Amino acid sequence: MTAAPLMPEVHIDEQVPADRVRAFFEHDRLLAAYALADLDAAEIERARWWLASRGDEPVAAALVVEALPFRPCFATGDAEALASLFREGVREPRLVISTPPAGRLAVESTYRFERVDRMHRMVVDVASFRPRVSHTVTRLEPDQLEDVIDLYGHASRSYFTEERLERELYFGIFAGKTLVSAAGTHVRSKRSGLAAVGNVLTRVSYRDRGMATSVTSAVTTASLEEHRDVVLNVRQDNTPAVAVYERLGYRVHAPFIEGPAVRRSTWDRILGRVR
């Protein structure tokens, strides 16, 4: 009887050349859209990344954006390698982790999710996009920063800056002098031909008037002038929002999970394996 060959050990490397991590993420560029854009803007967003390999073959990767206080992290790949990557590489005490559903157990070997949202990654391109704008929509410029912060709340001040409004595409609807609805691109990657739409928000008293549809349509139109594909995230149970995006031509590309997570203590990890 011939013994089965041993699998090569998993090796974890931090801050390898960005092109190596980009090539791995490009295996599913639509699911990895945010991470690919963060790689493009690594100096601006202060991103760190890790690559797990067996021999010479990359099998998992993760990226953390350190510039944002909530520390978003995207991770994907082989489950065993992903578990090693979080155990030996990523050491942030708190993260907001996004990963395909198959990666959840690997993440939870080291991090404990405080909440898990089941999400859809949706995508649209020029061929499938159906614009629907029924309001006067304005491109939001850096000198309208205070209007944006007033809409999204004081806590958004650490995220929204004049530089972000200059760099990204944000559109809004005003009622008089008050910004009442807005949407924009979280990140954009010209190298990968991707833009990610988010931050869709309408003041409560102005909802159910189609404003979210108008601002999402406007930012999608502008994004498709520069990128091949536009993606966004939505909770699977947010039926009204999914319906809005589907009317605009977005389709579900893949499910994933997302949520805040804390790094388990050594004893917590040991007890978790014993139970």
- Stated pTM of the model: 0.89
What is the phi/psi pair of residue 264, to 5°?
-70, 145
- Across the range 77-100, mean pLDDT stands at 95
Q: Tens of pLDDT along 202-237?
A: 999 999 999 999 999 999 999 999 999 999 999 999
Tell me what pLDDT residue 6 has.
52
Nearest-5° Cα angle at 182, 177 to 187: 135
Tell me what pLDDT residue 187 has.
86
What is the phi/psi pair of residue 211, to 5°?
-70, -40
Total Cβ atoms within 10 A of residue 4: 6
- Across the range 15-42, mean pLDDT stands at 92
What span, in angstroms and rounded, lies between the C-alpha atoms of 100 and 89?
19
| Average pLDDT along the chain | 92
What span, in angstroms and rounded, lies between the C-alpha atoms of 151 and 147?
6
Nearest Cα residue to 216 out of 242, 238, 178: 242
Tell me what pLDDT residue 147 has.
97
- Across the range 173-201, mean pLDDT stands at 94
Q: Tens of pLDDT along 129-184?
A: 999 999 999 999 999 999 999 999 998 998 899 999 999 999 999 999 999 999 99
Nearest Cα residue to 119 out of 27, 254, 25, 230: 254
Is the pLDDT at 267 greater than 90? The verdict is no
Name residue 104's amino acid: R
What span, in angstroms and rounded, lies between the C-alpha atoms of 29 and 52?
18
Is the pLDDT at 45 greater than 80? The verdict is no
Tell me what pLDDT residue 40 has.
87
Tell me what pLDDT residue 60 has.
97
Total Cβ atoms within 10 A of residue 103: 23
Total Cβ atoms within 10 A of residue 169: 21
What span, in angstroms and rounded, lies between the C-alpha atoms of 116 and 118?
6
pLDDT band at 274 (very low <50, low <70, confident <90, very high): very low
Name residue 40's amino acid: D
Token pair of 233, please?
């995230």
Name residue 16's amino acid: V
Residue indicated by tokens 């800056």: 161
Is the pLDDT at 77 greater than 50? The verdict is yes
Residue burial 231-270, b: 16+ Cβ < 10 Å; e: rest: bbbbeeeeeebbebbeebbbeebeebbbbbbebbeeeebe
Tell me what pLDDT residue 161 has.
93
Token pair of 205, please?
């008293």
What is the phi/psi pair of residue 165, to 5°?
-65, -30
Total Cβ atoms within 10 A of residue 21: 24
Token pair of 152, please?
């999204």
Residue indicated by tokens 């760190």: 48
Q: Tens of pLDDT along 49-72?
A: 999 999 889 999 999 998 777 899
* Ordered DSSP codes for 93-126: SEEEEEE-GGGHHHHHTTEEES--EEEEEEEEET
- Across the range 103-110, mean pLDDT stands at 96
Asked if residues 170 and 179 have their Cβ atoms less than 8 Å apart, the reply is no
Beta strands, E only, the chain: 10-14, 47-54, 57-65, 72-77, 94-99, 111-113, 117-125, 138-139, 170-175, 178-189, 194-202, 229-235, 251-263
Beta strands, E only, 140-227: 170-175, 178-189, 194-202
Tell me what pLDDT residue 69 has.
79
